[in-house]
């Protein structure tokens, strides 16, 4: 036997439609957001859309005739682009693009790259270093943790010259030049 609903409970139930209940994959999304410390949910949504577009494009290329020269050319271009972005490990075949997910984009974010280069101990400190302006990629100082680093740019992730952290690391490694101490 079920008790009679109170007025406010009935009012709440009128607002909720149990027949057309929208099911979303929010649990996986929250896990990824927490794992990679992504503050803006729009970033994850963009990564999800991009990965879906890559998978759809690969499927359309796969649907083309195998003897067609355009298929070989477009396969090569897609694999080259996705590999240079760092989303797949090799350029062997088109089936690797099925594994491109939003997490693959998250692994190419600057804090994750800093972690793999051992410039920071965890993602939280890496994000802090980036937001405080201690990191540069090439010649640009990056202050946005959502910056995506390609394979080519991975070698150019360094400390800013005026960074106290760089000076501390150089002191620790006995690499600091006397000329730099004049500052």
SS3 of residue 29 by DSSP: helix
Among 105, 130, 158, the domain boundary falls at 105
Which conformational region is residue 138 in: left (phi greater than 0), alpha (psi within -120 to 50 degrees), or beta? left
Q: What is the pLDDT of residue 60?
A: 95
The predicted model gives 108-137 an average pLDDT of: 94
Q: What CATH number does the domain containing 151 carry?
A: 3.10.290.10
Domain count for the chain, please give it: 2
Q: Is residue 11 domain-resident?
A: no
Query: Based on the domain organization, do 77 and 95 belong to the same domain?
Result: yes
Q: Which residue from 96, 92, 159, 171 is spatially nearest to 130, judged by alpha carbons?
A: 159
The predicted model gives 108-116 an average pLDDT of: 95
Q: Is the dihedral of CA 138, 139, 143, 144 positive or negative?
A: negative
The strand pairing partners of 136, in sequence order, are 141, 158
The predicted model gives 14-21 an average pLDDT of: 67
Q: Is residue 14 domain-resident?
A: no
pLDDT band at 44 (very low <50, low <70, confident <90, very high): very high
Between 8-17, 29-38, 53-62, 147-156, the lowest mean confidence (pLDDT) is in 8-17
């Amino acid at each position: 036997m079920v008790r009679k609903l109170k007025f406010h409970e009935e009012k709440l139930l009128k607002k909720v439609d149990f027949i057309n209940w929208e099911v979303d994959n929010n649990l996986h999304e929250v896990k990824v957001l927490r794992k990679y410390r992504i503050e803006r949910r729009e970033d994850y949504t963009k990564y999800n859309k991009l990965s879906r577009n890559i998978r759809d494009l690969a499927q359309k290329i796969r649907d083309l005739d195998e003897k067609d020269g355009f298929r070989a050319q477009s396969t090569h271009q897609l694999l080259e682009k996705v590999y240079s972005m760092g989303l797949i490990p090799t350029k062997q075949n088109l089936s690797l693009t099925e594994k491109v997910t939003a997490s693959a984009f998250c692994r190419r974010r600057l804090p994750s790259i800093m972690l793999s280069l051992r410039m920071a101990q965890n993602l939280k400190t890496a994000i802090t270093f980036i937001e405080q302006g201690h990191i540069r990629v090439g010649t640009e100082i990056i202050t946005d943790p959502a910056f995506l680093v390609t394979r080519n740019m991975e070698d150019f992730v360094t400390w800013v010259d005026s960074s106290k952290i760089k000076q501390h690391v150089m002191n620790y490694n006995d690499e600091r030049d006397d000329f730099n101490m004049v500052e």
